[in-house]
Amino acid sequence: MTVAKIFVLLSFLACTCKGSKVLVVFPVTSRSHSTLGNSIVNILLDAGHQVNYVTPFPLKTNHTRLTCTDISSVLQELPDSVRLNLAEISKTKGSHWVLPMGYMFASQALRHPAVQTLLNDTSKSFDVIVAEWLYSGLLAPLAAVYGCPLVWYASSDVSWQSLRMVHEASSPAYSVDPQSLRLPILPFTTGEKVHQLMLQVYLNAWIYYFTNYVELPAYREIYAGPLQLRGKTLPEYESLVYNASFLLINSHPPLGQNIPLPRNAKYVGGHHISLTRKPLPKDLQKLLDESKKGVIYFSLGSIIQGKDLPENMKRELIEYFGQLEQTVLWKIEEQLADLPQNIHILDWAPQDSILEHPNTVLFITHGGLMSVTEATHHGVPIIGIPMFGDQFVCVDLVTHRGCGIRVDFNNEMPSKIREAVNEILGNQSYSINAKHASSLFRRRPASPQKELLHWVELVADTRGAAFLRSPAVDISTWKKLNLDILLVILLLVWFLSKVIKVIKAHLGDQNTRENLEKKNE
């Protein structure tokens, strides 16, 4: 073999060995969450990495560098408490309602036989783990099992709860809990700041309870065996939960609250939006192209189904939409009778491609972050009908920036949608603001796909990117709030007060003696 051939062979081997082994864990049983996980997996595969993907929605592909750990059977085990419907979402929930859900998704995945097999296989190793954070730290000990760094991925906008996983909680003076029903306009009033502070204190109590009395026993049960097989003992649980190397956030200005970030937290929102989009079905492409008056797209997402809307509400909407000169595309899971010619029903819709079409003038949505992200990317104004979770804050952020209108889900919703549609179609400022937001959203030094890949690779290559680690995560709350200094000051003041008291007493005694001596003379 010639020297040139040997050089080519060695170069080829170097390139093929370059890829890292990545474990990607997305346990949430929601199609929208799996879309985000699929995007991360495809970005890593395209870059030459080997990926083991834990998901309830396994990818249908024969990619040689992809292994899917199929946990789809958990879909049959979901309790009724997480099967959201219109009757359930109308009930007001406390902000702590997501904590048991986050624990349930993580626990179900970790206890699944396929994941247990993976955990107990001592021949498996990984260079980095990318795990979805959803109000639970139970996936964090995976990094201890495989002896590699962990990257948290937050599928929602950054919040004080996700930020504390790698840094510290953001201040209630400028950030709200993502489960809030309203987003106050900055600057917050004193009352609003007090409310957010008390909410943080309340939720911290809940987090302490879940960490120590729900997750800790599960941690011992799930991870003791796999760690023992590798000759390791159980580390302290909280030390693992807050030992992640990085936080990737599915948001980006101008989408979220713009909370200040540490160096080991980065926005990658929009990474699921493909740069090379598949063409629309021919009939849908033709319909959009011929809708010269514009297209209104209406979808309530994948969790809440449009078919569950009350019948009278659906008929009111059909009657109003039929009066419009625009084409209305309605994603709904049933066929509706007696539809006007301008209304078209879709049981499945390529949402991103519809929003990209230049004739789409308005998006009526539930206000989920992915939908808001896609609307912002394509510069389409929205009417947001928030249902649950972070949708209220997402929609309020859109309305505060003049890119849409919020309509609450109640009996007046059809009439309010009528008013909002007339306002947005009759006022060009919404479209102008949406286009401006799109320009800001796209204006980045690199695409979100490249950003995401860069940070995951950096964490893997540097064994945790310790040089980016925030010092705040290693400091107790006591010291972060400078309560130790306050205690020293209080002790000093107490000590000085005692000294002054003793001096005064001494001087008083001395004066008394002098007075007695004078009297005796």
Instruction: Write out the DSSP string of 286-352.
Output: HHHHH-TT-EEEEE-TTTS-GGGS-HHHHHHHHHHHTT-SSEEEEE-SSPPSS--TTEEEESS--HH
- The residues near 416 (Cβ < 8 Å, ≥ 6 apart) are 407, 408
Write the burial class of residue 189 (CB in 10 Å: 0-12 exposed, 13-18 middle, 19+ buried): exposed
Q: What is the pLDDT of residue 10?
A: 40
**Does 289 map to a domain?**
yes
Q: What is the pLDDT of residue 16?
A: 42
Q: What is the pLDDT of residue 459?
A: 98
- Verify that 382 and 492 share a domain, yes or no: no
Beta strands in 16-63 (DSSP E): 21-25, 50-55
Number of C-beta neighbours around residue 416 at 10 A: 17
Q: What is the pLDDT of residue 87?
A: 55
- Verify that 241 and 300 share a domain, yes or no: no
> Please, what sign has the CA dihedral across residues 27, 33, 34, 39?
negative
Torsions phi, psi for 402 (to 5 deg): 75, 25
Q: Report the C-alpha gap between 207 and 375 in whole angstroms.
A: 34
- Verify that 76 and 222 share a domain, yes or no: yes
Q: What is the pLDDT of residue 476?
A: 77
Give pLDDT tens digits for 203-215. 999 999 999 999 9
- Verify that 315 and 268 share a domain, yes or no: no
- Verify that 237 and 297 share a domain, yes or no: no
Q: What is the pLDDT of residue 93?
A: 62
**Does 1 map to a domain?**
no
- Verify that 201 and 293 share a domain, yes or no: no
**Does 519 map to a domain?**
no
- Verify that 193 and 217 share a domain, yes or no: yes
Q: What is the pLDDT of residue 11?
A: 43
**Does 171 map to a domain?**
yes
Q: What is the pLDDT of residue 185?
A: 86
- Verify that 340 and 393 share a domain, yes or no: yes
- 426, 442, 458: which is the final residue of a domain? 442
- Verify that 269 and 409 share a domain, yes or no: no
Q: What is the pLDDT of residue 443?
A: 94
DSSP 213: I
Q: What is the pLDDT of residue 503?
A: 87
**Does 12 map to a domain?**
no
Range of the domain at 399: 282-442
- Verify that 197 and 229 share a domain, yes or no: yes
**Does 4 map to a domain?**
no
**HSE, side-chain direction, 13 A CA sphere, residue 65:** 18
How many domains in the chain? 3
- Verify that 286 and 197 share a domain, yes or no: no
Q: What is the pLDDT of residue 186?
A: 83
**Does 9 map to a domain?**
no
**Does 11 map to a domain?**
no
Edge-to-edge strand order for the sheet containing 382-384?
A: 343-346, 327-331, 295-299, 360-365, 382-384, 404-406
- Verify that 263 and 349 share a domain, yes or no: no
Amino acid of residue 391: Q
Domain containing 137 — which CATH number?
3.40.50.2000
pLDDT, averaged per 10 consecutive residues of the chain (521 residues), comes to 45 55 96 95 97 96 94 82 55 74 95 97 97 97 98 96 94 91 89 93 93 96 97 96 97 90 96 88 95 96 80 93 96 88 92 96 96 97 93 95 95 95 97 97 95 98 96 80 83 90 78 64 61
Residue 259 near residue 158, CB atoms below 8 Å: yes
